[in-house]
Amino acid sequence: MASEQELLSTEIVNRGVVDGSGPYAGSLNFSVRVRRGMPDFLSSVKLKYVKLGYTYLINHGYILMTPLAVFIIGAGIGKLTWEELRSKYDATIVISFIGLITVLVSKEKFIELAKASGNFSDSALSFQYHVLKNSGIGEETYLPRSVFMPGHKITLKDGREEAAMVMFGAVDDLLAATGVRAKDIKILVVNCGILNTTPSLSAMVVNHYKLRHDIHSFNLGGMGCSAGTVAIDLARDLLNAHPGSYALVVSTEVVSFTWYTGNDKDMLLPNCFFRMGAAAMFLSNCRLDRWRSKYELKQLVRTHKGMDQRNFNCIHRKEDVEGKQGLSVSKDLFDVGGHALKANITTLGPLVLPFSEQFLFFKTLLSKKTKPYIPNYKLAFEHVCILAASKKVLDELQNNLELTDEYMKASRMTLNRFGNTSSSSVWYELAYLEANNRIKKGDRVWQVTFGSGFKCNSVVWKALKSIGKPKKTPWAED
| Spatial CA neighbour of 41 closest among 312, 349, 300 | 349
Q: Report in angstroms the alpha-carbon separations of 407 from 265, 320, 438.
A: 32, 39, 11
CB 301, CB 342: distance < 8 Å: no
Of residues 383, 385, 416, 457, which has the active-site annotation? 383
> What values do phi and psi take at 279, rounded to 5?
-140, 145
Between strands 325-329 and 383-386, the pairing is unpaired
Of residues 152, 304, 376, 436, which has the active-site annotation? 304
What would the DSSP string read from start to end of 361-428? Answer: HHHHHHTT-SSPPPP-GGGT-SEEEE----HHHHHHHHHHHT--HHHHHHHHHHHHHH-B-GGGHHHH
Residue 172 and residue 425: Cα distance in Å, rounded? 19
CB 342, CB 47: distance < 8 Å: no
Q: Residue 56 CB: number of other CB atoms within 10 A?
A: 17
Residue 208 and residue 79: Cα distance in Å, rounded? 19
Of residues 192, 225, 272, 456, which has the active-site annotation? 225
Q: Confirm whether 383 is a catalytic residue.
A: yes
Return left, alpha or beta for 118; rule: phi > 0 is left, psi -120 to 50 is alpha, else beta.
left
Residues in contact with 458: Cβ distance below 8 Å, sequence separation at least 6, in sequence order: 229, 299, 300, 301, 302, 344, 345, 348, 446, 447, 448, 449
Of residues 285, 344, 420, 457, which has the active-site annotation? 420
What would the DSSP string read from start to end of 276-330? Answer: --EEEEEEE--GGGGGG-SEEEEEEEEEE-TTSHHHHTSEEEEE-TTS-EEEEE-
Q: Confirm whether 420 is a catalytic residue.
A: yes
Which residues are known catalytic residues? 225, 304, 383, 420
